[in-house]
Amino acid sequence: MTTPLQTRIVKHIKSSGPLPLAEYMHWCMADPKDGYYANQTAIGAKGDFITAPELSQMFGEMIGIWAVETWEMLDKPSRFNLVELGPGKGTLMQDLLRIGNAVPDFLKAAEVQMIETSEKLVDTQKQNLSEYENITWQTSLQDIPAQPTLVIANEFLDVLPIRQYIKAEDEWREHAISIDEKDNLVWTLGAGVLAAEILPENATTEPDGAVFEISTIREAFITNTCDLLRQNQGAALFIDYGHGKTAFGDTVQAMRAHGYTDILKEPGLADLTSHVDFDALAKIAKTSEMNVSPLAKQGEFLLAKGLIERAGQLGHNCSPEIQEQLTQQAERLALPDEMGDLFKVLEFGTILRVLENLIMWG
Ligand code: SAH
């Protein structure tokens, strides 16, 4: 099926030439009319993929424990920003604020700031968080008020566009999308060439066809977060799938109805994501004068925050079926061959105790 977005992309390619992957991803995901997040029921059992907060309330609750601990480390400011980037259905924030119920001063001080581009998801977030008053929707990190700040983001960085470069005869040429004689979308090499100094040292030994990925928009989000924290004090927690060491390889994938599909097929209908290079992002945070905790695996992070204890508490006096469900949820989130190892936790901020806190599982 030719999607409306495909028709527009083909027209664009005919007039302006091949479209770099990053621009293609941007159209597919963020186009306000025909893009994925404007139209699709992305997240959840009925959507295309399921995220950790949708799997279990315990995920957001453990982030809530991190938020309360970090607020305490900041000397319990009486007002602070609790910023979430790409909050999806608002489930993580709901679960996080539930933990806050046990710490009334935290809840009173928290000014929740949601940064979300999809109008459809903003509506869902407003519905799901209607019982809380102190929530504002913003379009950019630049609009966040000047006061101590916590930033959280789960599966946000992976949806941001990336550029891919392919090694071809000693040059790294930009991966782009063109059309064939039947107007099908096909891969091609674009005009852009990656400067050698951006590549890792061992790039010269990579064979032709090797792939290197960069995401300038991800890097910009990290830089802007660092600026915000440096100016106001605070800390950030980015959770996503990705690698701890910069590496070569094609990690872009398209997901639809819980299965993989072709990236170039039916643009706008599938969720396009890629693995996050946490190494590159941690370096940016360090250069931006942040204390950066050792990169942790999601499983380690959740266990350190009390996942097992929380599962036990929730299952107390419940039926064996409910207890079994809770065990399965905890396993899915934390076991190494489930989400536990692939998903990583990048934490940085102005407070040094953040670093000390993490050394035990870094
Ligand atoms: N954090 C949620 C949702 C993950 S899906 C969860 O874990 O379930 C990615 C989210 O990022 C969606 O809410 C999407 O609309 C949002 N998003 C994508 N690009 C964005 C951008 N540039 N700025 C803000 N939000 C964005």
Please tell me the distance between residue 292's alpha carbon and the centre of ligand 1 in angstroms.
24
Establish whether residue 161 lines the binding site of ligand 1, counting it when its CB lies within 6 angstroms of any ligand atom: no
Q: What is the pLDDT of residue 41?
A: 72
Atom of ligand 1 nearest to the CA of 84: 1
Establish whether residue 90 lines the binding site of ligand 1, counting it when its CB lies within 6 angstroms of any ligand atom: no
Q: What is the pLDDT of residue 359?
A: 41
Task: Give the CA count within 13 Å in the CB-facing half-sphere of 5.
Answer: 23
Determine whether 197 is exposed, middle or buried from the number of CB atoms within 10 Å of its CB (0-12, 13-18, 19+).
exposed
Establish whether residue 156 lines the binding site of ligand 1, counting it when its CB lies within 6 angstroms of any ligand atom: yes
Establish whether residue 300 lines the binding site of ligand 1, counting it when its CB lies within 6 angstroms of any ligand atom: no
Q: Which helix (H) or strand (E) holds 320?
A: helix 320-334
pTM for the whole structure: 0.94
Determine whether 69 is exposed, middle or buried from the number of CB atoms within 10 Å of its CB (0-12, 13-18, 19+).
middle
Please tell me the distance between residue 156's alpha carbon and the centre of ligand 1 in angstroms.
5
Q: Which of 160, 189, 162, 184 is nearest to 264 (CA)?
A: 184
Q: Please state, in angstroms and rounded to a whole number, the distance separating the CA atoms of residues 174 and 172.
A: 7
84, 118, 141, 142, best to mutate for ligand 1 pocket (most atoms within 8 Å of CB): 118
Distances from the Cα of 346 to the Cαs of 7, 91, 109, 349, in angstroms?
39, 21, 25, 10
Asked whether 347 and 278 are in contact (CB, 8 A), the reply is: no
Q: What is the pLDDT of residue 362?
A: 32
Q: At what angle do helices 307-315 and 320-334 cross, to 10 degrees?
A: 170
Question: How many C-beta neighbours within 10 Å does residue 335 have?
Answer: 12
Q: What is the pLDDT of residue 20?
A: 96
Low-confidence ranges of the chain (pLDDT < 70): 353-362
